[in-house]
Structure formats: C-alpha cells, structure tokens
Amino acid sequence: MTTADFVVVANRLPVDRVVSADGEENWRTSPGGLVAALEPVMKQVDGAWVGWPGQADLELAPFTANDIRLIPISLSAQEVAEYYEGFANDTIWPLYHDVIAPPQFHREWWDAYVAVNRRFAEAAAAAAAENGTVWVHDYQLQLVPEMVRALRPDVTIGYFHHIPFPMHGLYAQLPWRDQVLRGLLGADVVGFQRAQDATYFLAAVRRRLKYEVKATTVAVPGENGHRTVIAKAFPISIDTSPYLELAARPDVQARALEIRESLGNPKRILLGVDRLDYTKGIRHRIKAYGELLAAGRLKVEDVTLIQVASPSRERVDAYIHLRDEIELAVGRINGDTDTMEHTAIRYLHQGYPREEMVALYLAADVMLVTALRDGMNLVAKEYVASRIDNRGVLVLSEFTGAADELRQAVRVNPHDIEDLKDAIITAVEMTPGEQGKRMRSLRRRVLEHDVVAWSASFLEALSAARASRP
C-alpha cells in the first residue's frame, strides 16, 4: 500500500456515497466544517483520509476522490449500533454535554468502541509514511492516538476534540475514564475548542493518572523517560469564502426578499438553525418566544420565528422524544397566536443547501443561538460571515465556544427564560447604528480567524512538537 506523509483519521470520510436511479455510484464532497478545513491541506501535501463511508456492511478498497486518497473503514450494522449510536452518541455525547440527557453505560458498547478504534488505528498506522503526521478527530476516536503510538512511535500525532470536555465531577462517572485519558495522551498535541475544556482535561489527567501537569503540558511517563504532550485551545472556525460569495449574489439576495414576502413581510424575522439535538436549547428558545407572544411583548403580525431543525440520530430514543416535544410546543403556540396572514413559528424539520441557508441568514434580523452546551457552534459564525450589510443581531449562549470570541453578540444564559426573553427584545429593538457597530466587530473577528487560520495554528503546533522530539 502507498503511504502518506499526512493522514487524517475521522469517523466519516469527507465524501458521501450517492447511487443514481440507474445504479451508478458517485462520491460527493460532504458538507461540514472539518472537510472545508482540511481539504485544502490534504491537496497541498501527500495526504490520506481514514474514515467510515457512512453505510453499514460496506466493504470498499481504498480509492481517490477530489484528489484525496481515501481509506474506508468497514463497520457492521451491530458496530454502528454499539460503537457509534451507542457508546459515541448515547454515552460520550450526553456525558460531555453536561449530562443534559442521562448517559448510558454498557460494557458491550465499550468493547465495540475499543475494537472499532483499533481498526481505525491500524489503518492509520499502515497508511502513514515514516516520520509522517497523523491527525485524529473527535470523540468517536479517543483511543486512536495511544493505539497509533504503540504501532508507530516514529509518527507525530495530533488529536482535536470538537465537542466540550466535561468538568471532572461529571467525567469521573465514566467507567472507562482512565483508558480514555491514556488514549488521548497518545497524541503529541491535544486540541480543544475552549481554554476551559483544556483546563478540565488537564485537571482530569492530574487527578486520575497523577501525571505531572505544568501550564498546558503533561509529562507522560514511558519506557524511555517522559514524553511531553501539549493540551490547549485551538478554536475552530469556518471557510468564510463561500458565505461572502453567496451573500453578494443577486439571486441569493432576491431569495432572501422572497422569504420575507412569503412570511407576510414581518418587521422582524428571528432565525434558529440547529441539528435537532437536546444540547441546542431549541425548547428553551421556543418557550421564551411563546411567552413573549402570550404576554403581548411581541405580536405575530410583527415578528416571525423560523426554526430550521435538521434531522439527527433519528433512531436514538432521546431524539425521538425531543422531536415530539418540540413539534407539540410549536403546534400549540401557532394554534394560539397565528392569524390567516401571519404565523408565529415556521418550523422546518429538514436540511437545506448552503445557498438557501445564506438566503435565510440574509432574511433574518436576529439569529438565535441558545445552545445549552456547544463545543463551538459554527452557525453563529456563518451568520456573521453572511451579513455583508453589517446589519443583524446575534443572540449567543454563553455556553458555546463561539461566545469566547464573538463578544459583541447579545450574550444570554438560555437556562434563564426571563433573561432569554429580555435578550430577544433587546435584539428586536436594537437600532441600526448599534447593529452596525456590533456586526462590524463580529465580522472582523470571524474573517480574520477563519478555518485556514485554525488548521494552520494546529499544524504549527504539531510541527513544533515534531521538532522538539529527541
């Protein structure tokens, strides 16, 4: 097998398999920030990407798509159920998101997680050239760094954690807490979205493993003395170019006007764009908005909320219940407040192409990002990048990674419904001058700290780690 100097390891390949009506198979670039961040890097270097093709029991040989060498990892239907839907998304996801939903601990899920992580690690170790670099991504693959190091001590290993890392009191609930910490410490550089996440991780290492921790470094004992691991924040961002280009296109701007007209040209459009997930605070947002309407502080003739809730993990019980709960609340508010000409909430349980999303961002006077816990939240940055008119208001939960950077947003504690209601009123009533002042500052931050800057900063840290190795 041909080896690569730079190997990305992620749960999913950067392409989706599309089979046409006549049975012809094609691969289409996946949407999402990680692909946008790494695709340019992969094309500049001799790169390979290890990942699952997204379908159970699909055996594929390595292939090339979009000039990137892809190494598919096959997962059985049982492994998808236990490793992915089970341990990754019903154990780690809720635990790392402050136990907003109760995590499930099952030994057979853990066993599947270990086995699948080993398969990814073996593929990465086989793909990496001598003294190459392996960059592992996210919570589905937390054991891979240590496994790759055992197989290939010559390579430089990075790991980036895209979701929050919990405080020790929560993390300590995990029965396999020490194994996961050791898995992550197989990397030379462990990156997090927020400084707070790195602090929680280092505290867990100090308390659980008793390793020496100084500032952002961990001394990991080994056969040949100690090895230094860096653990710090590298806040991820977006590729701003497509948002700037689309926002300037006359057809997208015309579509934004169409959207307003289709809603009866309200004075203000509020927008929420989320995966349908209990971490996103959709229920809290809808409750606050419904109470504002009921109290007469907002009128359905003047304000409409568009809520895009793209389908997510539809076979997991917590998500099934969440959808039922949200749709019941939307139906109740609309039933109580709608007129023949105006609707309170336009609820859309589907995903949309980027062109339509940018049109929605341009149509929306207020963007509501009310996540209860979020590693970053790139929707907030997409909205800001799209607002080339320097108008619009971002209402942003203080529990998102984006809140550390986007300081001119209207900050809110989404658990406090009264605070959330006041923030919505502040946003709706904000003057154009104040909007412009805040949005110019927000846009400067997003445009300067884009996804290219993020990947460059992480790769620089990896290069420094490689240079400092004995």
Tens digits of per-residue pLDDT, 10-50? Answer: 999 988 887 777 777 788 777 666 777 777 777 777 789 99
> Which element (helix H / strand E) includes 103?
none
Residue 425 has pLDDT above 90, yes or no: yes
CB 155 within 8 A of CB 26: no
CA distances from 468 to 80, 143, 153, 156, 400 (A): 39, 24, 15, 11, 34
Q: State how far the Cα of 18 lies from the Cα of 450, in Å rounded to an integer.
A: 30
pLDDT value of residue 310? 87
The per-residue pLDDT for range 336-363, each reduced to its tens digit, is: 999 999 999 999 999 889 999 999 999 9
Residues written for the chain: 470
Residue 280 has pLDDT above 70, yes or no: yes
Q: pLDDT higher for 126 or 317?
A: 126
Residue 314 has pLDDT above 90, yes or no: no
pLDDT value of residue 44? 77
With a CB cutoff of 8 Å and minimum separation 6, the contacts of 214 are: none
Residue 139 has pLDDT above 90, yes or no: yes
Residue 330 binned pLDDT confidence (cut-offs 50, 70, 90): very high
pLDDT value of residue 74? 97
CB 103 within 8 A of CB 279: no
Over range 435-451, report the average pLDDT: 97
pTM for this predicted structure: 0.94
pLDDT value of residue 28? 79
The per-residue pLDDT for range 176-199, each reduced to its tens digit, is: 999 999 999 999 999 999 999 999
pLDDT value of residue 1? 66
DSSP letters spanning 447-460:
HHS-HHHHHHHHHH
Q: Which residues pair with 308 in a beta bridge?
A: 273, 348
Residue 470 has pLDDT above 90, yes or no: no
Amino acid making up residue 65? A
- What percent of the chain has pLDDT above 70? 98
What is the side-by-side strand order in the sheet with 47-52? Answer: 63-65, 68-72, 47-52, 4-12, 128-137, 156-160, 189-192, 225-233, 217-222, 212-214
Range with lowest mean pLDDT among 42-56, 252-266, 345-359, 440-454: 42-56
pLDDT value of residue 32? 65
Q: What is the CA radius of gyration of the chain?
A: 23
pLDDT value of residue 87? 97
Q: Which residues pair with 159 in a beta bridge?
A: 136, 190
Residue 326 has pLDDT above 90, yes or no: yes
- Angular region, 264: left φ>0, alpha ψ -120 to 50, beta rest: left
Amino acid making up residue 225? G
Residue 416 has pLDDT above 90, yes or no: yes
The mean pLDDT of the chain is: 93
Over range 75-94, report the average pLDDT: 96
pLDDT value of residue 223? 79
pLDDT value of residue 217? 95
